[in-house]
Structure 1
Amino acid sequence: MIRQRIKLFIPLAVFVVLGILFWQGLKLDPTAMPSALLDKPVPVFSLPSLEDPEKPVTRDIFKGKTSLMNVWATWCPTCYAEHAYLVKLAEQGIPIVGVNYKDDVPAAQRWLRELHNPYIINILDADGRFGIDLGVYGAPETYVVDENGVIRYKHVGVVDQQVWDNDLKVFFE
């Protein structure tokens, strides 16, 4: 008889445990996705440039200056939302390297012509392998790469004034 009464409380106990886990999950930052590459060099790559597919780009592009590396695509509505702010940063002298991720080349070239090109160069990652090496979850993602080609920070989601002021600006001061 006592066993039967205890069995009645099992669903309640499961519900309470799940409720506690759910409550804790609400406190987590959904954009906080740690990167295994923090404080490690940008992975070795040799990929074509979106602007000139005959010209290979390597990780040497990051040597000598701290840069943002922005993973973007025309199929990404969030990339569209952040694009104007990236143009603003580029106009202020912030070097931004684009990684055009799994995209249609003519569409990407048209996007940059029409919306302005904030990138000093665009790496064409047509098959997404470079993105896999970086640990990309989706677009947009932005990395801070120091003057030695080492990844110092990763941001998932839109880069806007708040993200710049709170997270990225410090790397460029």
Structure 2
Amino acid sequence: MKPLHFVPFVVILALGVAFWLGNGRAGQEELPSTMIGLPAPDLMLDGFAGEPELTRALLDGEGLKLVNFWASWCAPCRVEHPNLVAIAEAGVPVYGINYKDDPAKAADFLAELGNPYAAIGADTNGRNGFGWGVYGVPETYLIDGAGRIVLRVAGPVTSSTFARDLGPALEAAGITVRLGE
């Protein structure tokens, strides 16, 4: 065999090793957000049948609150949902923005899994998500009492992302949340 016959194999092997070594280093949780420290953007949402309307005014005022972009078609949204319920039960207002979803399927999702949202709006065309810098659902933003974004969780709120990011921010504000995971 000639030595040049091994070149494609070596190139493919090198690429595989490079991808393997890089896996997890640029995960969703590391995606940058230019919104940190800025006021939460205005909201131009459609109503969500039978639920209190999410307005920008709800994001101002004392205390921490969460804004969660979610959809019924989103598998990671289903994974994080029990954690959002636990956060809401601990007294943190959680506001939902249903993202590019079928209203009936979204309502079924909440009927099946429970509704942690103090108010909900529907972002049927994705314009609100664009204004917030959403890469994809789920994404969750922690808003302070001045209505500013202090933290972003890209991807589902799992026990590990909670322990790393959201949990310490809530603990610093004197809020204890026990996740069921």
Q: Is 1:59 aligned to 2:61, yes or no?
A: no
- Compared with structure 1, are the counterparts of its residues 94 and 56 closer, same or farther at alpha carbon in structure 2 (3 Å cutoff)? closer
Q: Give the equivalent residue in structure 2 for 1:3.
A: none
Q: Give the equivalent residue in structure 1 for 2:102.
A: 104
Contact 1:70 1:140 in 2 (8 A): yes
* TM-score using structure 2 length: 0.77
- Identify the match of residue 118 of structure 1 among 116, 119, 125: 116
Q: Distance in 1 between matches of 2:104 and 2:17?
A: 49
What is the Cα deviation at residue 165 of structure 1? 2.1
Alignment: residue pair count: 162
Q: Is 1:47 aligned to 2:45, yes or no?
A: yes
Q: Give the equivalent residue in structure 2 for 1:71.
A: 69
Q: Deviation digits for residues 64-93 of structure 1, max 9, x if unmatched?
A: 221111110000011011111211211111
Q: Distance in 1 between matches of 2:70 and 2:144?
A: 20
Q: Could you list the runs of 5+ residues in structure 1 that have no partner in the other structure?
A: 1-7
- Compared with structure 1, are the counterparts of its residues 169 and 51 closer, same or farther at alpha carbon in structure 2 (3 Å cutoff)? farther
The more displaced of 24-33 and 36-45 is 24-33
AA in 1 matched with 2:165: D
What is the Cα deviation at residue 33 of structure 1? 0.7
AA in 2 matched with 1:60: A
Q: State the 4+ residue runs in structure 1 displaced beyond 4 angstroms.
A: 17-24
- Identify the match of residue 91 of structure 2 among 90, 93, 116: 93
Q: Give the equivalent residue in structure 2 for 1:28.
A: 25
Q: Is 1:80 aligned to 2:78, yes or no?
A: yes
The more displaced of 136-145 and 55-64 is 55-64
Contact 2:99 2:123 in 1 (8 A): yes
Question: Aligned to 1:159, what secondary structure does the other structure show?
Answer: coil
Please tell me the root mean square deviation across aligned C-alpha atoms, in Å: 2.5
- Compared with structure 1, are the counterparts of its residues 89 and 22 closer, same or farther at alpha carbon in structure 2 (3 Å cutoff)? same
Question: Aligned to 1:163, what secondary structure does the other structure show?
Answer: helix
Q: Taking every aligned residue pair, what percent have the same amino acid on both sides?
A: 38
- Compared with structure 1, are the counterparts of its residues 22 and 84 closer, same or farther at alpha carbon in structure 2 (3 Å cutoff)? closer
Q: Could you list the runs of 5+ residues in structure 2 that have no partner in the other structure?
A: 174-181
* TM-score using structure 1 length: 0.80
Question: Aligned to 2:134, what secondary structure does the other structure show?
Answer: coil
Q: Give the equivalent residue in structure 2 for 1:149.
A: 147
AA in 2 matched with 1:101: Y
What is the Cα deviation at residue 138 of structure 1? 0.9
Structure with max Cα Rg? 1
Question: Aligned to 2:45, what secondary structure does the other structure show?
Answer: strand
